[in-house]
Chain A
Amino acid sequence: MGRLKQSGIAAYEWLEHRLGLIKPISEAAAHPTPSNNASWWYVFGSAATVLLILQVMTGILLALIYSPSANEAWTSLNFLNHNIALGWYVRALHGWGSDFMIAIVLIHMVQVFLFGAYKFPRELTWIVGVVLLLLTLGMAFTGQVMRFDQDAYWGLGIGASIVSRVPFVGAQLVHLVLGGPIIGGATLSRFFTLHVFVIPGLLLAGVGVHVWMVLRHGVSDWPMPGRLVRKSTYEREYHELVEKTGMPFVPDAAWKDAVFAASILFAVMACAFFFGPFGPSGQPDPTIIQTAPKPDFFFLWIYAVLAFLPPALETPVLLVVPVVAIAGMLLLPLIASEGERHWARRPVAVLSVSVIAVSLGIFTRLGTYTPWSPVMDAWSSDAVPVKYMHDRSPLERQGAMVLQDKQCRNCHELDGAGGQRGPALDSVATRLTEDQIVRQVLQGGGNMPAYGNALNPSETKALVKFLMTLRGNDLQPAIDASRELTRNRQVQTEKSQGAPIAGQKP
């Protein structure tokens, strides 16, 4: 036994004498850290790294089967799902791992921001972290393209349409993104190159630099209200704190990281096992146009924002806002490198995080049910509710036919069924008078197309008569107040036998 131990030590010494890495690494792992940051709030960075390793490993396994050719990618994904033993599970791990990684990276970022950990001397750590976030999102977008289905195809179209808005070099950028004049084999190949070689290489190198700087400056201490960061004193204070309360990172603080990383991995495995892989949806055949393309979860908010921008603002916002937002994130630690770290003394920081989180949440939620999209089959699948047909005249019933036939339901709800692009019509006659409905239908406006060319006079008549019956719970119909006024004024004018004076109240 003693001999075995001795030969083990000899082997280690042989190796370490030649390699020279084991000792420095174990010393770095056991570096002293202030005891106040051995907290469950400090576990997200290491969990993100563990997820990155999971993504690299599952990605390599998928690459054994996946064919990055526009001709075969979709088929190879289905082959992975159905014909390769456990192929579905590896795909699911990679897909869910990606969602978890973005979520954990975002949580990590918010934690670092709220704890003021980006301040001196960790400014560059934050800046590299922002780059890592952008690279992670880049992995997510290019990964969505790897799942070469309908959503990927039209998602590429959306990407190309966005870069086409860049002034002067739009066309060149489109060709650079697509690798040619159309979305095709060259496009998939270059996104594969980005997803498998370029971005992962940058990501791993960036994580290396990020971790190196964490070791160099130490994990930030727990913020205390009133304990300000000053460039002249912070490092001395930190070292004093380490000397006073320091404990080895491994194992005294790292066990929480390890437990959290394991539970996150377990959560990824559970999601992968119970919910399975993402897609692929329909084959990437652009002639199948019966599709409503949608991006993956973490890009839904962008998809929603694009629905709400007014046409004239869209290009400026698309080109300016991302630049400003990224520049703001990068410059943050340079602008606010000193001062208060605790969230309780930084109301603007807390407010910013809250507003951004609520906005992203709302837009993501909207993106899940896209109220701005017409429901393409509502006109043929959602019947006019029977209660709206009771006690109606033949002309009004004819109008209900017109309503269905002219696809009004694709954008307008009746009794909760139909599109939500326009207002629900259940009580339209309480909001608009007959004249106003006629005008709205024929001329459109307020984001509604004009139907003057699609309706003949008798159809218009019937449609408007039917709409006039829609008064919710027997509410008062809308009345034209001005008509009443002009009538009164006419009466008055007739009485006084004179011309009415402008602005005079009747």
Chain B
Amino acid sequence: MSEFLKYPGESSNDALSPEGKAQAHTRRVFLFKLAVGLNAAVGAVLAVPLIGYLLGPVSRKKANVGSWISVGDVSEFPVGQTRLAEFRSPVATFDDGETAKVPCWVRRVSEQTFQVFAINCAHLGCPVRWFSESKLFLCPCHGGAYYEDGSRASGPPERGLFEYKYKIAGNSLVIHAGDMPTLATQASCKEKPLVKIQPAMVEMRSTTWEG
């Protein structure tokens, strides 16, 4: 430590001699403190835009990330069947490569009504697969199961499959896609509550033959 800065900030220390107190109040000490303050101010001015850059993905002011995109011709989806469709994410950027491709399950309920389910399991986002014979979606990760209408059947998910909003534009089925669907960022289905714990059908087990 410098000879001249032996007691910075200790001017209120009564144990110091008057000379010591005076030394803590030299012009150089004052200028040094001023310079520290100046650096703090410059640092703050520097930090604000850098933090803004870092938090860019968070502060994106698009409440409705994404846009409408076609998943194919309506005629590709026979009534009463559930089929895998894919589209290129409308929010993909220049170096997303294959990860920009998004699969989804399209269920045609009737001539004009569809259900478009996200591929991601509502539990932890693994890709669910459709089994037409047992009319179930099964997840390979932890065994989440959903009925054909996307509602929760069994396993660890606490709700049904995420659904995309859809409309029929001319001959093509158009869905609204953006965020990767998770419990907090659903596939643009703002109508549904964010976290909806659907009752599991476990109370069945409390019958005497199981106990």
Tell me the nearest residue of chain B to A150, going by C-beta.
Answer: B127
Interface-located stretch among A92-100, A101-109, A176-184, A469-477: A176-184
Tell me the nearest residue of chain A to B137, going by C-beta.
Answer: A449
Measured between beta carbons, the chain A residues less than 8 angstroms from B129 are 289-290, 376
Tell me the nearest residue of chain A to B104, going by C-beta.
Answer: A287
Task: Report A85 CB to chain B, min CB distance, Å.
Answer: 27
The contact string, 1 if C-beta is below 8 Å from chain B, for chain A 164-185, is 1110001111111011111111
Q: Does A447 reach chain B (CB closer than 8 Å)?
A: yes
Q: Does B27 reach chain A (CB closer than 8 Å)?
A: no
Tell me the nearest residue of chain B to A453, going by C-beta.
Answer: B135
Within 8 A of A (CB), among B177-208: 178-180, 182-185, 195, 197, 200-205, 208
A71 touches which of B97, B126, B155 (Cβ 8 Å) = B97
The contact string, 1 if C-beta is below 8 Å from chain A, for chain B 126-146, is 111101011110101111010
Q: Is there contact, CB below 8 Å, between A283 and B156?
A: no
Q: Is there contact, CB below 8 Å, between B127 and A286?
A: yes
Q: Does A240 reach chain B (CB closer than 8 Å)?
A: no
Also in contact, A445 and B156, with CB within 8 A (given A154-B127, A373-B142)? no
Measured between beta carbons, the chain A residues less than 8 angstroms from B66 are 181
Residues of A within 8 Å of B, CB-based: how many?
77
| Chain B interface SS verdict (over half) | loop
B93 touches which of A158, A184, A410, A432 (Cβ 8 Å) = A184
Tell me the nearest residue of chain A to B93, going by C-beta.
Answer: A185
Q: Is there contact, CB below 8 Å, between B127 and A311?
A: no
Also in contact, A171 and B142, with CB within 8 A (given A406-B133, A443-B204, A454-B136)? no
Q: Is there contact, CB below 8 Å, between A286 and B142?
A: no
Q: Does B19 reach chain A (CB closer than 8 Å)?
A: no
Q: Does A22 reach chain B (CB closer than 8 Å)?
A: no
Measured between beta carbons, the chain A residues less than 8 angstroms from B96 are 70-71, 182, 184-185
Measured between beta carbons, the chain A residues less than 8 angstroms from B13 are none
Within 8 A of B (CB), among A300-317: 303, 306-307, 309-312, 314-315
Also in contact, A161 and B140, with CB within 8 A (given A184-B93, A185-B94, A450-B201)? no
Q: Is there contact, CB below 8 Å, between B138 and A182?
A: no
The contact string, 1 if C-beta is below 8 Å from chain B, for chain A 367-381, is 000001110100100
- Measured in the bound complex, the distance between the Cα atoms of B16 and A82 in whole Å is 73
B58 touches which of A175, A285, A410, A482 (Cβ 8 Å) = A175
- Measured in the bound complex, the distance between the Cα atoms of B154 and A443 in whole Å is 12
Tell me the nearest residue of chain A to B141, going by C-beta.
Answer: A293
Measured between beta carbons, the chain B residues less than 8 angstroms from A184 are 89, 92-93, 95-97, 99-100
Interface size class of B (residues with CB under 8 A): 35 or more
The contact string, 1 if C-beta is below 8 Å from chain A, for chain B 165-182, is 000000000000011101
Q: Does A46 reach chain B (CB closer than 8 Å)?
A: no
A450 touches which of B95, B153, B158, B209 (Cβ 8 Å) = B153
Task: Report B3 CB to chain A, min CB distance, Å.
Answer: 22
Tell me the nearest residue of chain B to A283, going by C-beta.
Answer: B98
Q: Is there contact, CB below 8 Å, between B156 and A180?
A: no
Also in contact, A449 and B136, with CB within 8 A (given A71-B96, A372-B142)? yes
- Measured in the bound complex, the distance between the Cα atoms of B141 and A154 in whole Å is 10
Tell me the nearest residue of chain A to B56, going by C-beta.
Answer: A179
Task: Report B100 CB to chain A, min CB distance, Å.
Answer: 6
Tell me the nearest residue of chain B to A184, going by C-beta.
Answer: B96
Q: Does A492 reach chain B (CB closer than 8 Å)?
A: no
Within 8 A of A (CB), among B66-107: 66, 84, 86, 89, 91-103
Q: Is there contact, CB below 8 Å, between A289 and B154?
A: no
Q: Is there contact, CB below 8 Å, between B209 and A436?
A: yes
Q: Is there contact, CB below 8 Å, between B182 and A164?
A: yes
Measured between beta carbons, the chain B residues less than 8 angstroms from A449 are 134, 136, 145, 147, 153-154
Task: Report A451 CB to chain B, min CB distance, Å.
Answer: 7
Tell me the nearest residue of chain A to B102, going by C-beta.
Answer: A286
Q: Is there contact, CB below 8 Å, between B124 and A157?
A: yes
Q: Does B119 reach chain A (CB closer than 8 Å)?
A: yes
- Measured in the bound complex, the distance between the Cα atoms of B92 and A183 in whole Å is 9
Task: Report A180 CB to chain B, min CB distance, Å.
Answer: 5
Q: Is there contact, CB below 8 Å, between B180 and A182?
A: yes
B125 touches which of A161, A287, A303, A372 (Cβ 8 Å) = A161
Task: Report B145 CB to chain A, min CB distance, Å.
Answer: 5
Q: Is there contact, CB below 8 Å, between A292 and B140?
A: yes
Q: Is there contact, CB below 8 Å, between B184 and A171?
A: yes
The contact string, 1 if C-beta is below 8 Å from chain B, for chain A 183-223, is 11111000000000000000000000000000000000000
Also in contact, A444 and B143, with CB within 8 A (given A165-B184, A284-B99)? no
Q: Is there contact, CB below 8 Å, between A445 and B185?
A: no
Extra 17 A-B pairs, beta carbons < 8 Å, given A157-B125, A157-B126? A70-B97, A154-B127, A157-B180, A164-B182, A174-B184, A182-B89, A182-B96, A184-B97, A184-B100, A289-B103, A306-B156, A376-B129, A407-B136, A444-B153, A445-B201, A447-B202, A482-B208
30 contacts between A and B (CB under 8 A): A70-B99, A71-B97, A157-B120, A158-B125, A160-B125, A164-B182, A173-B58, A178-B57, A181-B91, A182-B102, A183-B99, A184-B99, A185-B97, A187-B99, A286-B119, A289-B127, A289-B128, A306-B142, A373-B142, A376-B129, A376-B140, A444-B154, A444-B204, A445-B201, A445-B203, A445-B205, A446-B205, A450-B147, A450-B153, A453-B135
Which residues of A does B touch, CB under 8 Å? 69-72, 153-154, 157-158, 160-162, 164-166, 170-176, 178-187, 283-287, 289-293, 303, 306-307, 309-312, 314-315, 372-374, 376, 379, 405-408, 410-411, 421, 432-433, 436, 443-451, 453-454, 482
